[in-house]
Amino acid sequence: MILHELIEFDTLRVIWWLLLGVLLIGFALTDGFDLGVGALLPFVAKTDTERRVVINTVGPVWEGNQVWFILGGGAIFAAWPSLYAVSFSGFYLAMFVVLAALILRPVAFTYRSKREDTTWRTAWDWALFVGGAVPALIFGVAVGNVLQGVPFRLTDDLWAMYEGGFFGLLNPFALLAGAVSVAMLLQHGAAWLTLKTEGPVSQRARTYGSVAGIVAMAGYALAGVWLLFGIDGYTLVDDVVRNGPSNPLHSEVAKGVSWGASYTARPWIAIAPLLGFVGMAMAMRGLRAGREVSTLLWSKLGIFGVISSVGLTMFPFILPSTIDPRSSLTVWDSSSSHLTLFVMLVVTVIFVPLILLYTAWVYKVLWGKVTEDDVTSNSESLY
């Protein structure tokens, strides 16, 4: 038996669907609080010293947190090439905006404190705000569009043809999803700041985080109702050959059913949105009660539930097509080859635990609060 045949092709496809979700959730749980902190910076910190405190809570870890973003992009490229082709071409301008905003972060971290000038530092503080708020918004908008379907089609030789435009992505449901994303990550950033700061900064973070939690839960509830009763879902009409070659055009897809059918077929997936609501509600309660570690953990649970609910609701669809449902990408017909998925899995099993161990060690070393004395009297303070 060939080694990669030890795991069935359809099983590998599901494993990589799960791993893609793990990588995206990992990015949201780690770099998500970095984005939230950046977006909160001009509001929770009033003096230059307070802003330096806020920046130093994420300064040592933000680069490592972005590893999950890079791994997610790499996984899409290698495991789901059709998804990569459609999304990275159709969402090209949106991704350019995200990358431009993310590029602002390292530049702002590096140059913000190089001069004493107030105008100079304020400008870079707002650059950090843009670098946090804009990606959070666009990531949510992207998810909103994926749930509705994207205007693309596949030619007979499987060339992906995207027929939409940038401003078409900014539809009402997608903007609502973007608002939920921003509010959710603001709450996550506030939870991080309550853990890492003290005094007025921590208190303001609790206030803003509590408001963000209310907005996130209300927006998530509204988006859920809208999705189930106001947006057409997709379903596979015929039996799919789950071990077959990757060719979406071999499947028959129907549009017009409710995504709620997923919950009828698999009632257990309702645990995902439940975890989303519980996590956000308990994080908001923790913010108001002055708790620290548990608040951050509840916030992580809320994010896990929200993102998981998207993937579980859509399964087995990864990217539906609005103009040609037959071109919709699913877990069963848009992956790389059996051998490719197996080799990637072996590499992942080896290196992801190492990344997790290193990340845990870094956070252990950096455990503790960042104080004003740390940034004013410590010559080793970077920002």
In this prediction the pTM is: 0.93
The answer to the question of residue 8 being in a domain is yes
Per-residue pLDDT at 251: 80
Query: What pLDDT does residue 3 have?
Result: 62
User: Exposure of 264 by Cβ count < 10 A (0-12 exposed, 13-18 middle, 19+ buried)?
Assistant: exposed
Q: What is the pLDDT of residue 379?
A: 54
Each residue's pLDDT tens digit in the chain (383 positions)?
Answer: 466 677 889 999 999 999 999 999 999 999 999 999 999 999 999 999 999 999 999 988 888 888 888 888 889 999 999 999 888 888 888 889 999 999 999 999 988 888 888 899 999 999 999 999 999 999 999 999 999 999 999 888 888 888 877 788 889 999 999 999 999 999 999 999 999 999 999 999 999 999 999 999 999 999 999 999 989 899 888 777 788 888 888 888 888 888 988 999 999 999 999 999 999 999 999 999 989 999 999 999 999 999 999 999 999 999 999 998 888 999 998 999 999 999 999 999 998 899 889 888 988 888 889 888 888 886 555 67
193, 43 contact by CB (below 8 A): no
CB-based contact 334:83 (threshold 8 Å): yes
Q: Quick check: is 34 in a domain?
A: yes
47 falls within a domain:
yes
Judge whether 382 lies within some domain. Answer: no
Burial class (CB in 10 A: 0-12, 13-18, 19+), 268: exposed
383 in a structural domain: no
Helix, strand or coil, per DSSP, at residue 12: helix
Q: What's the first-to-final CA gap in the chain, in angstroms?
A: 57
pLDDT at 63: 85
Distance CA 342, CA 337 (A): 9
Provide the pLDDT for residue 136.
Answer: 95
**Is residue 62 one of the residues assigned to a domain?**
yes
102 domain residue, yes or no: yes
User: CA neighbours within 13 Å on the CB side: how many for 186?
Assistant: 30
**Complete DSSP assignment for 80-147:** -HHHHHHHHHHTHHHHHHHHHHHHHHHHHHHHTTSS--HHHHHHHHHHHHHHHHHHHHHHHHHHHHHH
State the angle between helix axes of 81-90 and 67-79 in degrees (0 to 180), rounded to the nearest 10.
120
State the total domains in the chain.
1
**Residue 89 domain-assigned (yes or no):** yes
Query: For residues 315 and 349, what is the distance between their CA atoms, to the nearest angstrom?
Result: 24
Minimal CA–CA distance to 101: which of 130, 142, 73?
130
Give me the domain span that covers residue 268: 3-377
- Furthest-apart CA atoms within the chain: distance in Å: 69
336, 316, 308, 240: which is closest to 12 by C-alpha? 336
Could you say which DSSP state residue 336 is in? -
